[in-house]
Chain A
Amino acid sequence: MPMTITEKILAFHCGKKDVAPGELINSKVDVVLANDITAPISIKEFRKAGAKKVFDRKRIVLVPDHFTPNKDIQSAEQSKLLREFAREHGLTNYFEVGRMGIEHALLPEQGLAVSGDVIVGADSHTCTYGGLGAFATGVGSTDVAAAMITGEIWFKVPESIKFIYFGKLRKWVSGKDLILHTIGDIGVDGALYKAMEFTGEVIDRMDMSGRLTMANMAIEAGGKNGIIAPDDTTREYESGRAKRRPKFYKSDRKAVYVEVREYDCSRLEPQVACPHLPENTKGVSELSHINIHQSVVGSCTNGRIEDLRIAAKVLKGRKIHPDVRMIIIPATQAIYKQAMKEGLFNVFIDAQAAVSTPTCGPCLGGHMGILAKGERSIATTNRNFVGRMGHPESEVYLANPAIAAASAVLGRIGSPEELK
């Protein structure tokens, strides 16, 4: 039976020759992930169930990244719970402040998520690892508790939608713009319960950073997972990094899709998602009248070294607009160090931007850049819901790092092409 890449990975992990959409399966998991917000509930459930042992102490990853370095006493208590649980069970993949990073940037970087894996995480952006050609999906804390005990999880095999991107990308257009445009096209529930398979010559040419950004936001279209077939770019990225042997799958030529959508990317300009849903996308040129108070470059979506390089390229020799605060958050310690080595921090600080230690921070309105009533931020993050970055009457516009940096200089939404 011809299968999609998603179906093949799931079939292998439930020990079947083939699986079909709609089928309920019990799948083995390669990695189980949780963070300082979601793990406390998992740990509580784990203990309540009377469990004594995790299924594999090397395959459970705990990353306190949301409210860390801890912003208040209560969040410190939550992190403490993770720390103690990790110690109690001898977890080898607990990442403390100073050794950590935003989970979805950290796992690929550390080679803990590899091609062909099934990964579940109590965080909706777990779908990021689809960029490597893994089946990865967000679940709740109770699901994670069960998976920590059994090493398995139940799934309904999703139907797949195939997205084909062709053409040549214009300057400053990236994976972020393709995924925002796609969400704008199909809506925030356009891929509800479904696998989003990203294909085409644009994807073939895209670097790993852009692929991870695209898979990261599959959830913003309601998708169960986003996935990109691994290739030489993947092989190169994983070489010397993967902690386990990656397994490359690709969809059969005759695999069945519920829908196929094609995008000519040649004419696409950088995209911005307006409040309060990621589907409210517009071309950047339509929004030059929107003033901003803050610009954030960071998050699991766009906090990688490639993103920081783009921001630096735009900011070099320029100053942030006097009415704007710019906050730049390298997603992991390794990215932080690399950015420092490349002199990017000099560019940022000379431009009068603030540089932060890795954290999810302002992306979910935690800390490190909360908005007051009536304030507006452009951000490379993934959600612009009501109150997402602070006051319920504040606003978030989602964009790529070049647009976020250019807007910080302009004091309004705009593109690097508009800078003198």
Chain B
Amino acid sequence: MKLKGKAWKFGADIDTDAIIPARYLNTSEPSELARHCMEDSKQPDFIKKMGKGDIIVADKNFGCGSSREHAPIAIKAAGVSCVVAKTFARIFYRNSFNMGLPIFECPEAVDGITQGDAIEVDAEKGIIKNLTTNKTYRAAAIPPFMQELIASGGLMEWVKKKVA
């Protein structure tokens, strides 16, 4: 699967309150959450300006803070095709795999991408191409167990198979 879109760059330690502020957590409806995606970040009008398939590119520790799954849900429902970061906070990493938001760890790509660059990601191979600069990067390999989760179609499908 090829994911293609424009890069939106964010800094280090983007917390889940910046991704989806708690004041909107009185619902878990994905389309509602998407309307406020990244609202308390340094690019509060992200949701108005972004296009379908666009890619969030962030520095270290993306998604730190709360365990709210509303964060990856908001990002996915906004139409973001994937997130590339130097590192991810632990719970956000787990949640993204569980609910099916593709994420990639690649410090070199983050340093080599600027806001607005056209990016193409080969999700299976973890290859990130900056079409604007014509540079290619390889993301950290996805651990085999996580690959199994993805292949099953997410955690709940994997559990269903196990329980059956």
Chain A contacts to B: CB under 8 angstroms: 24, 37-38, 40-41, 44-45, 48-51, 66-67, 71-72, 74-75, 78, 121-124, 126, 138-143, 145-146, 149-150, 154, 156, 188-189, 192-193, 219, 222, 224, 277, 364-366, 383, 385-388, 392
Question: With contacts A124-B65, A143-B94 known, is A149 near B163, CB below 8 A?
Answer: yes
Question: With contacts A24-B145, A383-B17 known, is A364 near B66, CB below 8 A?
Answer: yes
Give the residue name and chain of the B residue nearest to A277 (CB): B13
Distance between Cα atoms of A122 and B68 in the complex (Å): 7
Distance between Cα atoms of A156 and B144 in the complex (Å): 12
Chain B residues bordering chain A, tally (CB within 8 A)? 42
Tell whether, in the assembled complex, residue A192 and residue B98 are in contact, meaning their CB atoms are under 8 Å apart.
Answer: no
Tell whether, in the assembled complex, residue B61 and residue A222 are in contact, meaning their CB atoms are under 8 Å apart.
Answer: yes
**Which residues of chain A come closer than 8 Å to B21, judged between CB atoms?**
365, 387, 392
Distance between Cα atoms of A156 and B143 in the complex (Å): 11
A188 contact from B64, B68, B70, Cβ within 8 A: B64
Distance between Cα atoms of A9 and B34 in the complex (Å): 39
Question: With contacts A49-B156, A142-B69 known, is A189 near B87, CB below 8 A?
Answer: yes
Distance between Cα atoms of A24 and B28 in the complex (Å): 30
Tell whether, in the assembled complex, residue B155 and residue A74 are in contact, meaning their CB atoms are under 8 Å apart.
Answer: no
Tell whether, in the assembled complex, residue B160 and residue A41 are in contact, meaning their CB atoms are under 8 Å apart.
Answer: no
B26 on the interface (CB 8 Å rule)?
Answer: yes
Tell whether, in the assembled complex, residue B17 and residue A388 are in contact, meaning their CB atoms are under 8 Å apart.
Answer: yes
Tell whether, in the assembled complex, residue B69 and residue A192 are in contact, meaning their CB atoms are under 8 Å apart.
Answer: no
Tell whether, in the assembled complex, residue A67 and residue B26 are in contact, meaning their CB atoms are under 8 Å apart.
Answer: yes
What are 7 sample pairs from A and B whose C-beta atoms fall under 8 A apart? A72-B26, A138-B67, A140-B91, A142-B156, A192-B90, A365-B22, A392-B21
**Which residues of chain A come closer than 8 Å to B73, judged between CB atoms?**
41
**Chain A nearest CB, measured from B112 CB (Å):** 22
Distance between Cα atoms of A149 and B26 in the complex (Å): 25
**Chain B nearest CB, measured from A83 CB (Å):** 16
Tell whether, in the assembled complex, residue A146 and residue B40 are in contact, meaning their CB atoms are under 8 Å apart.
Answer: no
Question: With contacts A139-B67, A385-B17 known, is A50 near B98, CB below 8 A?
Answer: no
Contact with A along B138-164 (1 / 0, CB 8 A): 000001010000000011100110110
